[in-house]
Amino acid sequence: MTDRPTAPDPRPPHPAPDATPDLSSRDPDWWRQAVVYQIYPRSFADADGDGLGDLRGITRRLTRLSALGVDALWLSPFYPSELADGGYDVADPRDVDPRLGTLDDFDALVREAHRLGLKVIVDIVPNHTSHQHVWFQEALRAGPGSPARDRYVFRDGRGASGELPPTDWQSVFGGSAWQRVPDGQWYLHLFAAEQPDLNWDHPDVREDFRTTLRFWSDRGVDGFRIDVAHALTKDLEEPLRDLGDHAAGGEAALVDFAPGTHPFYDRDETHEIYRDWRKIFDTYTPPRTAVAEAWVPGARRALYARPDELGQAFNFEYLEAVWDADELRQVITDSLATAQAAGASATWVLSNHDVIRHASRLMLPPGTDTNAWLLSGGKAPAVDPEAGLRRARAATLLMLALPGSAYVYQGEELGLPEVADLPTSVLQDPIWEQTGRVRKGRDGCRVPLPWTTTGPSYGFGANGAWLPQPPSFAAYSVEAQDGVEGSTLELYRTALRLRRKLIDGETLKWAEDTPEGVLQFDRGDGWRCVTNLSAAPVPLPPGEVALTSAPLEDGHLPPDTTAWLTR
Ligand code: NOJ
């Protein structure tokens, strides 16, 4: 592709909402109720027309994010990477992938974000590196028993000539978690074979990550998202144990293990690392923040969010909850209690780059085999996009009324559905090949954003996009929704502006006498949120209607609708 400039932004953004950007904000608690917008850089905006999103593309659109009303950006990895796992295979954690820009471009992005009052969070990937990382290349050359191999997890194989992997451990992406190298040894990779696991018992590994945290903090980064935060330390005492029926990767592997005893997930000694990192975070003003990506059960997850560790952890129970009033109420109550017990603020997430977008997911009947759904191209069962969007908007207004911080994934403010019918020939997620083409993977939520109603990639860039966008994206584009009353983009803008005004305290109070299938709670002084998850319209509770996710019907709250009321 050529080097033509990106398509211009269609219309000037709306003025930023009320809150005056506080550039010098030194408030140490800014993150507790922040709305954080996740950018998947390769799919956000392509400034140089090579089909991949880049840092300059992001910088050019920052005024739009400020006008949307978010408080912070989280950038998924933009580091040098061969993209074996969408950038989570990091070849150099202290540089920018040349296809995405330079360190100067990064500095310009941070400067502009701060000028607009937006904080910047970057992704740290401490469980593994890319196999292209200098350390791994050195380890391959240095051979068995060398100090260089000790920074990773190399072992001899089993069987007469070491031809069998050292254990039965499985990769999260499918298949054995061990890969053999030409000299006969095997190395551990809990994810793709191109992502060798680091050995966190090695002092070089610990020191290098301290350097990385300081490197980005010194460049003005305000916080960090910690990838696979629960897998860093491992029980590598010989002999390594087989796991039998529990060998599969992922959260399910934790079932049946006493807390902290699984050989490579959620081990107690992992917390020492984060206590060490907290000391670094606290040398900055305001202290750098962090959020753990830890797919572990609630009470264990909260440990990562303790104030002397990372401070926050993603609440995946909320993301995984089905669209049911009783289940959601329970999850919300438990999440608030768990976060409070840890001294953290709660977090809420509906979508990210690893899961089916919530405008589609919330319509799937509970228990749906989501991989089978993806393999059917989103046809079995079929999801009505309008009904999905209606439910997603209701879920979003509910989320944005909850105490704590909300993580919004790029494109959800446009109401984007999952692109479930990507042809298998274009799939990039390593899950597809690593499972022997059985699991379709996560590309359907990573399709580049539509900015305009026309153009070769709907304004994403001047040329094509690295994953094909469906024609239906035109109607979801920023251009199609900007300034259009009732559009999802305008709903998010209004909701975020109101949220800033209405936020008061970090607690909620449930209403007890609500109709079946209705969730209703009050926040602070006069902010009431009511969601109708039942199949029939319900009367509105007292209050002045400030915002609804769908029009009211004869003064009633229709199904799959949330209303915010004020006193
Ligand atoms: C979690 C990230 O969100 C996901 O995209 C990635 O594949 C794995 N960690 C491995 O880094």
| Span 304-356, pLDDT tens digits | 999 999 999 999 999 999 999 999 999 999 999 999 999 999 999 999 999 99
Percent of the chain at pLDDT > 70 equals 95
User: Mean pLDDT, to the nearest integer, of 168-191?
Assistant: 96
CA of 452 to the centre of ligand 1 (A): 30
Cβ neighbours, 10 Å, residue 337? 14
Whether 194 is catalytic: no
Whether 29 is catalytic: no
Bond before 381 cis per omega within 30 degrees: yes
CA terminus-to-terminus distance, the chain: 56
Does the pLDDT of residue 231 top 90, yes or no?
yes
DSSP state of 430: H
* Atom of ligand 1 lying closest to residue 173 CA: 7
Which of the following is catalytic: 71, 227, 443, 560?
A: 227
pLDDT score for 4: 37
**Which protein residue has the closest C-alpha to ligand 1 atom 6?**
88
Which of the following is catalytic: 48, 293, 443, 522?
A: 293
CA of 269 to the centre of ligand 1 (A): 22
Q: 10 or 485: which carries more pLDDT confidence?
A: 485
Three-state secondary-structure class, residue 107 = helix
User: Mean pLDDT, to the nearest integer, of 511-515?
Assistant: 94
Helices (H), 424-555: 430-434, 473-476, 478-481, 488-502
Does the pLDDT of residue 50 top 90, yes or no?
yes
Per the prediction, the chain carries an average pLDDT of: 94
Q: 469 or 257: which carries more pLDDT confidence?
A: 469
* Atom of ligand 1 lying closest to residue 127 CA: 11
pLDDT score for 440: 97
Contacts of 384 (CB under 8 A, 6+ apart): 363
Confidence tier at 248 by pLDDT (50, 70, 90): confident
Give yes or no for a contact between 156 and 115, defined as CB atoms under 8 angstroms apart: no
CA dihedral 449, 453, 454, 456 (to 10 degrees): 10
For 471-493, the pLDDT digits (tens) are: 999 999 999 999 999 999 999 99
CA–CA separation, 140 vs 292, rounded Å?
A: 31
Does the pLDDT of residue 1 top 50, yes or no?
no
pLDDT score for 567: 87
pLDDT score for 247: 75
User: Mean pLDDT, to the nearest integer, of 275-288?
Assistant: 97
CA of 22 to the centre of ligand 1 (A): 33
Ligand 1: which residues within 6 Å by Cβ?
A: 85, 88, 125, 191, 227-228, 293, 353-354
Confidence tier at 251 by pLDDT (50, 70, 90): low
Of the candidates 324, 320, 321, which has an alpha carbon nearest to the alpha carbon of residue 534?
A: 324
Confidence tier at 252 by pLDDT (50, 70, 90): low
CA of 227 to the centre of ligand 1 (A): 6
Q: Is the pTM of this model over 0.75?
A: yes
Percent of the chain at pLDDT > 90 equals 90
Q: 186 or 253: which carries more pLDDT confidence?
A: 186
pLDDT score for 105: 98
Give yes or no for a contact between 212 and 223, defined as CB atoms under 8 angstroms apart: no
CA dihedral 266, 267, 269, 275 (to 10 degrees): 10
Does the pLDDT of residue 20 top 80, yes or no?
no
- CA 361 to chain CA mean position, Å: 16
Of 103-107, 230-234, 247-251, 496-500, minimum mean pLDDT range: 247-251
pLDDT score for 249: 63
Three-state secondary-structure class, residue 290 = strand
Does the pLDDT of residue 524 top 90, yes or no?
no
